């Protein structure tokens, strides 16, 4: 595996988490392929219905909705943390990454984990670098 490719992929995953918290939607979606798919199961604990968003526009709309609802972004006192990342290259232009995530709330006062789970990510190398092509989320 190319160390450069692995590092770039790890940075894409880290930037996605950071930009979810910063609220910079344009920079966030710039890390996604045009045909990206974001699949999330239902999570009754936090009142989340199952969803599958396709394409940058749908995912940007989802991020803006979460920011408007105060679930993430500036002033929400939330933080996405990813860890235990493994990356496996599939040829020169495809990769799979698996990681754990924690979603923290009340980060300015008494931090508490509100949710945790796993990301199964598929990435593609594009002329602009590695981009997320599919994210499947599982909770627990």
pLDDT in tens, 53-100: 999 999 999 889 888 988 889 999 999 999 999 999 998 999 999 999
- CA nearest to 76, candidates 64, 87, 84, 68: 68
Residue 47: predicted pLDDT:
67
Asked whether the whole model's pTM tops 0.85, one would answer yes
Parallel, antiparallel or unpaired: strands 94-105 and 112-126: antiparallel
Q: Is residue 1 scored above 60 in pLDDT?
A: no
Q: pLDDT confidence of 121, banded at 50, 70, 90? A: very high
- Average pLDDT of the chain, as a whole number: 92
Q: pLDDT confidence of 45, banded at 50, 70, 90? A: low
Q: Is residue 26 scored above 90 in pLDDT?
A: yes
Cα separation, 128 vs 119, in Å, equals: 23
Residue 126: predicted pLDDT:
97
Burial of 4 (0-12, 13-18, 19+ CB in 10 A): exposed
- Residue ranges making up the domain that contains 18: 3-139
CB atoms within 10 A of CB 80: 17
CATH code for the domain in which residue 33 is found = 3.10.450.50
Q: State the total domains in the chain.
A: 1
Percent of the chain with pLDDT over 90: 76
Residue 84: predicted pLDDT:
96
Residue 46: predicted pLDDT:
62
Cα separation, 127 vs 61, in Å, equals: 25
- CA nearest to 48, candidates 39, 58, 56: 39
Per DSSP, what are the bridge partners of residue 98? 86, 120
Per DSSP, what are the bridge partners of residue 79? 104
Burial state string for 6-17 with b = 16 or more CB within 10 A and e = fewer than 16: bebbbebbebbb
CB atoms within 10 A of CB 66: 16
């Amino acid at each position: 595996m190319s160390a450069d490719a692995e590092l770039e992929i790890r940075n894409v995953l880290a930037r996605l988490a950071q930009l979810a918290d910063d609220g910079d939607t344009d920079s966030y979606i710039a890390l996604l392929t045009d045909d990206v798919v974001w699949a999330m199961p239902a999570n009754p604990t936090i009142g989340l219905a199952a969803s599958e968003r396709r394409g940058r526009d749908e995912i940007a709309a989802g991020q803006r909705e979460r920011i408007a609802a105060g679930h993430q972004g500036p002033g929400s006192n939330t933080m996405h943390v990813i860890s235990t990342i493994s990356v496996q290259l599939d040829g020169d232009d495809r990769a799979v990454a698996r990681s754990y995530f924690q979603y923290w709330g009340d980060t300015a006062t008494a931090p508490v984990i509100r949710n945790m789970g796993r990301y199964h990510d598929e990435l593609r190398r594009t002329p602009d670098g590695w981009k997320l092509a599919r994210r499947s989320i599982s909770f627990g």
